[in-house]
Amino acid sequence: MHRRIQTFKPRRGRYSKEQVAAITSSAYLVELHESVPLSKHFSSNRVILDIGFGMGDATAEQARAHPEVGILAIDVHTPGVGRLLALLEQQQLTNVRVIEGDALTLLHDVLPDRSIVGVRAYFPDPWPKKKHHKRRIINAEHLDVLARKLVPGGFLHFATDWQDYAETARTDLHAHPAFDLLPEGAHLPLASRAERPRTKFEMRGIAAGRSITDLIAVRKD
């Protein structure tokens, strides 16, 4: 069996009683291998894939701002999954579904082609060592499968505080035949630097003196 590249580092964390309860009982949790139409989980036919949501604050904020849009959020960090599920319950946000697992498995094996209107990848693991660049979730190889899952006109919004990652991703998006990379500062209704909430990873990058880059690309027809 072909072993797929791992794009994440498993992380441990503490669980609150609230997070444990959410993971074990939430109606918003979806099994990774549940290959069913998105229409089963979302009333909207506009669904955004949120890859690596961390502790879930930005996802919940964007779900609250756009209740007319569905968000399929995936992360491998169990405490973060529990916290996002708890936030959804507390704030009664019904337009989000959460998956605990690897985004590449979802993209390759579960998610139908041309099924999502957008992809968000905010501050994913930069894998700074050159020998690990193949593990980056935004790279030339992974752009192929992301393009297949997006509807024509759908967007990819990537943010990072690692300059090397930003430049590599910019080069890959420029070269990819399925994407049009928008000018810096571009604003789409559901994708812009202003639209994106600040995350703790962004704040850490700023505190460390690193610049923040937002890249937005549109899936060609």
**What is the structure's pLDDT at 21?**
63
**What is the structure's pLDDT at 36?**
72
CATH architecture of 114-221: 3-Layer(aba) Sandwich (3.40)
Q: Which amino acid is at 59?
A: T
> Which regions of the chain carry the CATH code 3.40.50.150?
14-112, 114-221
14-112 maps to CATH 3.40.50.150: yes
**What is the structure's pLDDT at 2?**
44
Q: Catalytic: 144? A: no
**What is the structure's pLDDT at 80?**
94
**What is the structure's pLDDT at 123?**
96
Low-confidence ranges of the chain (pLDDT < 50): 1-3
pTM of this prediction exceeds 0.75 = yes
**What is the structure's pLDDT at 45?**
94
Q: Backbone phi, then psi, for 115, in 5-degree steps?
A: -115, -10
Catalytic residue, from 75, 102, 125, 161: name it: 125
**What is the structure's pLDDT at 74?**
97
**What is the structure's pLDDT at 24?**
72
Q: Backbone phi, then psi, for 113, in 5-degree steps?
A: -65, 150
How far, in Å, CA of 38 to CA of 204, rounded?
35
